[in-house]
Structures are given as structure tokens and as C-alpha cells.
């Protein structure tokens, strides 16, 4: 399926089928992507040239929206056969170990037939027994998913079996279009094998255990931070209360008259004597 089919304002379930409006869905994913970019300016990615076969696969590390510094693996396989000159014209296969993809869309993509090429890898439900277990999205990636995600239809999360990617895949697509150069990606020769590439993608169950551990660690750290802030606030509040208390003023005692000592002699006042002038003879 061409990448541009996932980006159109309407999505068709198949040739001649009703086209569903998805512009609101795309706008919502775009807004969440922009919010994520405010926290993680750059997404980690690696461009692989997988041999044998000469397939171009871009491996993204997409940040979780809820667990800080925790990342999911999203892989986009880009096929430029037919003369594609931009990413939107490439035929794509994909993979994500984000829970929203595993439990809502993995089964759908596993059981769909590609409407553009007619090749296996995207066929309607109940035809999954015709597809070998080693064929899920990016070939071989089913080994990293729990088995029930492939064999059990998502009757609760995606009862209509819509073949649309989840948020993590859309985040990778948006980043691909916003930040990567088409020629540099398609002519990259960073060679690896599929077996080596699979080793870089953790099994889903292992990833979920790591996520739970990291989430618990961050929750405990946040609890300790709240306690520290609360303690500091109380200390500061006590200091302010002490500073604002009125200072008690001590009342001065009245001054008592001083008694004269008995040894002090009382001096009588001395009258000044006016000198007499002499008599003239």
C-alpha cells in the first residue's frame, strides 16, 4: 500500500468500498506528535539496507506519551518500485511494538492483502491461515509479538478491522516526512541482515516488563519529589510565621528618686560681698 493512502483525508477499505473520512483522526495525531516534539526535539532513527533483497527499512525509536524516556520500536519498509520520487509514493510495510498497535492493529495488518499490489501480508480476516507465520508486516517481525496479537481479532478495540496504523506509526511517518531526505534514505547502504535487525527489537513481553518497571520507578520518584516539596513548603511556611509574629515590648520600670548620702555636707549659700570704695580726704 502506498504511504499516501494513510495520509489522505479519506480512507478506503478496498477497491470500490466506502471511503471513510479520517481528517479529524490525522489532525489529532498530528497535534499529539507536535506536543511530543516539544519534549523530544529529535527522534532516534537508523536507516538499514537489508540484505538479501536490498530492502530499505527505517527503524525509529518513538517516545512514549506517558512514560518519560521510554521508547517503542517502529519500522517502516519503503519500496520505491514504480518510480517513486518521494516518500508518499513508496509502497510501505510496517511494524510497531507499541501496545496500541499490537492489540488494535497487528492482527488487522497481518490478515490483510495489500490492495495496491495484491501481495500477501495484508489480507481480510479469516484468511490468516493462508499466510505463513513468518510473514507479518516487515517480514519476520511477528517473532517479537505475542501470539494472541496475531491470531485473535481485536473485537473490542477495532471491531471494524480498519487497516489504519496506530499513533506510533503515524508519529514515525510524520517524522519521516518532516525531517528525512528521500534520496539519502533510499540510497543509504547501511547494510544489515534481517536476523541482526530483529535482535535490535525487543520482544513485546520483555518490552512491557521494562515499561512497567520504568513506570513504577518514575512513580516512586515522583512520590518522593512530592514529599520533599511538601516538607520544604512546611519549613518555609513555619519560617514565615515566625517572621510575622509581633515582638513583645517590655514595659519600662518607673525611675525611683535617688536618696542623698549622709556623708554629704550641706553647703550653705555664700552671699557675694560688694567691695567698699575708699574715703577721699
Angle at CA of residue 107, ends 106 and 108, nearest 5°: 90
Give the pLDDT confidence score for residue 128 in this predicted structure.
Answer: 34
And the C-alpha cell for 43?
Answer: 527522534
Give the pLDDT confidence score for residue 125 in this predicted structure.
Answer: 32
Give the pLDDT confidence score for residue 119 in this predicted structure.
Answer: 72
Give the pLDDT confidence score for residue 220 in this predicted structure.
Answer: 93
Per-residue pLDDT of the chain (281 residues; tens, 9 = 90+): 899 999 998 887 666 666 788 999 999 999 999 999 999 999 999 999 999 888 899 999 999 999 999 999 999 999 898 889 999 999 988 888 888 887 777 777 777 767 777 676 643 232 333 233 433 445 455 556 565 655 555 544 554 456 788 899 999 999 999 999 999 999 999 999 988 988 888 887 888 899 999 999 998 988 888 888 888 888 887 788 888 776 655 666 666 665 555 555 555 555 555 655 555 54
Beta bridge partners of 192: 50
Q: Kindly report the number of other CB atoms within 10 A of residue 112's CB atom.
A: 24
Cell 495484491 locates to 118
**CA-atom Rg of the chain in angstroms:** 42
Give the pLDDT confidence score for residue 261 in this predicted structure.
Answer: 54
Give the pLDDT confidence score for residue 260 in this predicted structure.
Answer: 55
Distance CA 20, CA 13 (A): 8
Q: Are 65 and 215 in contact (CB under 8 A)?
A: no
State how far the alpha carbon of 113 is from the alpha carbons of 1, 180, 222, in Å. Answer: 9, 28, 46
Q: Are 23 and 182 in contact (CB under 8 A)?
A: no
State whether residue 120 is helix, strand or coil: coil
State how far the alpha carbon of 213 is from the alpha carbons of 164, 217, 222, in Å. Answer: 30, 6, 14
Give the pLDDT confidence score for residue 150 in this predicted structure.
Answer: 55
* DSSP states of 237-281: HHHHHHHHSPPPPPPPPPPPPPPPPTTPPPPPP-PPPPPPPPPP-
Please return the burial class of 168, using the count of CB atoms within 10 Å of its CB with bins 0-12, 13-18 and 19+: buried
Distance CA 142, CA 136 (A): 5
Distance CA 122, CA 64 (A): 27
Distance CA 98, CA 117 (A): 27
**Where do the H-state alpha helices sit in 113-203?**
148-151, 167-179, 182-186, 194-199
Distance CA 190, CA 211 (A): 30
Amino acid at each position: 500500500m502506498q504511504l499516501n493512502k494513510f495520509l489522505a483525508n479519506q480512507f478506503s477499505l478496498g477497491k470500490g468500498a466506502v471511503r471513510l473520512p479520517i481528517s479529524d483522526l490525522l489532525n489529532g495525531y498530528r497535534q499529539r506528535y507536535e506536543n511530543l516534539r516539544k519534549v523530544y526535539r529529535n527522534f532516534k532513527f537508523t536507516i538499514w539496507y537489508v540484505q538479501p533483497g536490498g530492502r530499505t527499512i527505517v527503524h525509529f525509536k518513538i517516545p512514549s506519551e506517558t512514560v518519560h524516556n521510554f521508547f517503542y520500536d517502529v519500522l517502516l519498509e519503503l519500496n520505491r518500485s514504480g518510480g517513486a520520487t518521494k516518500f508518499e509514493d513508496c509502497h510501505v510495510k510496517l511494524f510497531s511494538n507499541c501496545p496500541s498497535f499490537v492489540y488494535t492493529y497487528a492482527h488487522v495488518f497481518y490478515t490483510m492483502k495489500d490492495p495496491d499490489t495484491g501481495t500477501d501480508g495484508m489480507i481480510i480476516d479469516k484468511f490468516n491461515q493462508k499466510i505463513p507465520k513468518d510473514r507479518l508486516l516487515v517480514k519476520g517481525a511477528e517473532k517479537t509479538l505475542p501470539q494472541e496479537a496475531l491470531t485473535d481479532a481485536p473485537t473490542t478495540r477495532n471491531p471494524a478491522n480498519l487497516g489504519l496504523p496506530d499513533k506510533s506509526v503515524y508519529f514515525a511517518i510524520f517524522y519521516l516526512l518532516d525531517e528525512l531526505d528521500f534520496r539519502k534514505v533510499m540510497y543509504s547502504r547501511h547494510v544489515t541482515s534481517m536476523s541482526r535487525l530483529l535482535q535490535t527489537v525487543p520482544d513485546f513481553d520483555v518490552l512491557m516488563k521494562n515499561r512497567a518497571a520504568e513506570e513504577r520507578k518514575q512513580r516512586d520518584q515522583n512520590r518522593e519529589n512530592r514529599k520533599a516539596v511538601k516538607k520544604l513548603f512546611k519549613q518555609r511556611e513555619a519560617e514565615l510565621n515566625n517572621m510575622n509574629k509581633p515582638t513583645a515590648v517590655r514595659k519600662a520600670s518607673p525611675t525611683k528618686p535617688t536618696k542623698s548620702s549622709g556623708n554629704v555636707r550641706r553647703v550653705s549659700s555664700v552671699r557675694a560681698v560688694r567691695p567698699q570704695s575708699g574715703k577721699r580726704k
